[in-house]
């Protein structure tokens, strides 16, 4: 399925009239933060398409943000720039990274947010931006002279993203570096390096886990999942097959096991929360 998708999804670069910038944050929409960040991007380049992946990531939940990015990025046109700001370490000595993973560019805190994307086989170029680089860029007038210690989305990420959309190269901002590929964030068997847990709860109350089942494998090899005090033992192929008010397992659109309830909220019935551990029975 992936190969078929890749063969026809790509938009010819010549047909893209404007650069595309996709934003992912935990800022919510009740405050000014998202709009302010967009305003700073537009000050650098007003001729862009701004797309919102989500701004409803649970506060400081880096792993959930990584999942949402992984689930969406491959469906964007070539050369999309992804600006990702879920940043519990804002103002500290944590670094910022610009990652070129053809045909996309990612800008994010260096805190594991990009691990889902970087765990996949691919050639990447990583550029690291530290506090010394921020001071250098501020002195050079690339960034504001007074960078806030609490709002790097406005003062660092947005200007860099805007400049990248104008064709500036990442090595102007940071230093190329190498690092080992991160381990897979998915639970793929009893010997998996990652433990099974809740990645995300969508607006329907469906519980997205990090348990990956191959499209070519028999997902029924998983007999049950225990979350909190409840066990879920029944598989269904589609939502309509599920009995009412009964949590069941289903293979979601990204080949991840989801816990769902027909026309109701599995998260409510199972008292589930993001990052909650799951026990797997085979």
Mean pLDDT of the chain, nearest integer? 92
- Is residue 79 within 8 Å of residue 13, measured between CB atoms? yes
Q: Are residues 142 and 269 in the same domain?
A: no
Tens digit of pLDDT for each residue in 172-222? 999 999 989 999 999 987 555 679 999 999 999 999 999 998 755 555 689
Q: Are residues 41 and 160 in the same domain?
A: yes
- How many Å apart are CA 261 and CA 274, to the nearest integer? 17
Q: Are residues 170 and 205 in the same domain?
A: no
Three-class DSSP labels, the chain: CHHHHHHHHCCCHHHCCCCEEEEEECCCCCCCHHHHHHHHHHHHCCCCEEEEEECCCCCCCHHHHHHHHHHHHHHCCCCCEEEEECCCCCCCCCCEEEEEECCEEEEEECCCCCHHHHCCCCCCEEEEECHHHHHHHHHCCCCCCCCCCCCHHHHHHHHHHHHHHCCCCHHHCCEEECCCCCCCCCECCCCCCCCCEEEEECCCCCEEEEEECCCCCCHHHCCEEEECCEEECCECCCHHHCCECCCEEEECCCCEEEEEEECECHHHHHCCCCCCECEEEC
Residue 191 maps to a domain = no
Of 9 and 19, which is predicted with more confidence? 19
pLDDT (mean) for 13-20: 71
Can you give the residue range of the structural domain that contains 29? 2-177
**252: domain CATH number?**
2.40.30.90
pLDDT band, very low/low/confident/very high, at 5 (cuts 50, 70, 90): very low
pLDDT of residue 83: 98
pLDDT(3) > 60: no
Q: Are residues 20 and 139 in the same domain?
A: yes
Q: Are residues 173 and 202 in the same domain?
A: no
Q: Are residues 170 and 246 in the same domain?
A: no
Residue 71 maps to a domain = yes
Q: Are residues 214 and 141 in the same domain?
A: no
Q: Are residues 229 and 163 in the same domain?
A: no
Q: Are residues 167 and 35 in the same domain?
A: yes
Residue 186 maps to a domain = no
Q: Are residues 100 and 150 in the same domain?
A: yes
Tens digit of pLDDT for each residue in 250-263? 999 999 999 999 99
User: Looking at the DSSP assignment, which residues form a beta bridge with residue 201?
Assistant: 207
| Total domains in the fold of the chain | 2
Tens digit of pLDDT for each residue in 125-152? 999 999 999 999 999 999 998 999 999 9
pTM of the model: 0.91
Category of 203 on φ-ψ map: left (φ > 0), alpha (ψ -120 to 50) or beta: alpha
pLDDT of residue 220: 62
Q: Are residues 104 and 167 in the same domain?
A: yes
Among 116, 145, 177, give the residue marking a domain's end: 177
pLDDT of residue 7: 41
Residue 241 maps to a domain = yes
**123: domain CATH number?**
3.40.50.10790
pLDDT(1) > 70: no
Residue 239 maps to a domain = yes
Residue 138 maps to a domain = yes
Q: Are residues 206 and 167 in the same domain?
A: no
pLDDT of residue 31: 98
Among 177, 212, 247, give the residue marking a domain's end: 177
Express as a percent the part of the chain with pLDDT over 70: 91
pLDDT of residue 4: 42
């Amino acid at each position: 399925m992936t190969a078929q998708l890749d063969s026809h999804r790509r938009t010819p670069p010549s047909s893209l009239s404007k650069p595309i910038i996709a934003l992912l944050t935990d800022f919510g929409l009740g405050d000014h933060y998202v709009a302010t960040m967009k305003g700073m991007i537009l000050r650098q380049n007003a001729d862009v398409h701004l797309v919102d992946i989500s701004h409803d990531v649970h506060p400081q939940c880096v792993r959930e943000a990584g999942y949402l990015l992984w689930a969406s990025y491959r469906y964007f046109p070539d050369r999309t720039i992804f600006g990702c700001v879920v940043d519990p370490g804002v103002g500290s000595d944590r670094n910022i990274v610009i990652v070129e993973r053809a045909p996309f560019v990612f800008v994010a805190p260096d805190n594991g947010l990009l691990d889902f994307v970087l765990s996949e086989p691919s050639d990447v170029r990583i550029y690291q931006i530290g506090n010394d680089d921020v001071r250098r860029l501020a002195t050079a007038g690339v960034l504001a002279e007074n960078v806030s210690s609490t709002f790097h989305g406005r003062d660092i990420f947005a200007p860099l993203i805007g400049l990248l959309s104008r064709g500036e190269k990442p090595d102007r901002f940071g230093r190329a570096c190498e690092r080992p590929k991160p381990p897979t964030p998915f639970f793929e068997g009893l010997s998996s390096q990652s433990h099974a847990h809740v990645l995300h709860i969508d607006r329907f109350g469906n519980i997205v886990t990090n348990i990956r089942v191959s499209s070519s494998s028999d997902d029924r090899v998983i007999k049950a999942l225990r979350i909190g005090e409840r066990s879920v033992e029944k598989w269904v192929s589609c939502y309509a097959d599920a009995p009412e008010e009964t949590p069941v397992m289903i293979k979601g659109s990204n080949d991840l096991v989801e816990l769902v309830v027909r026309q109701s909220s599995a998260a409510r019935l199972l008292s589930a929360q993001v990052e909650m551990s799951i026990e797997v029975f085979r």
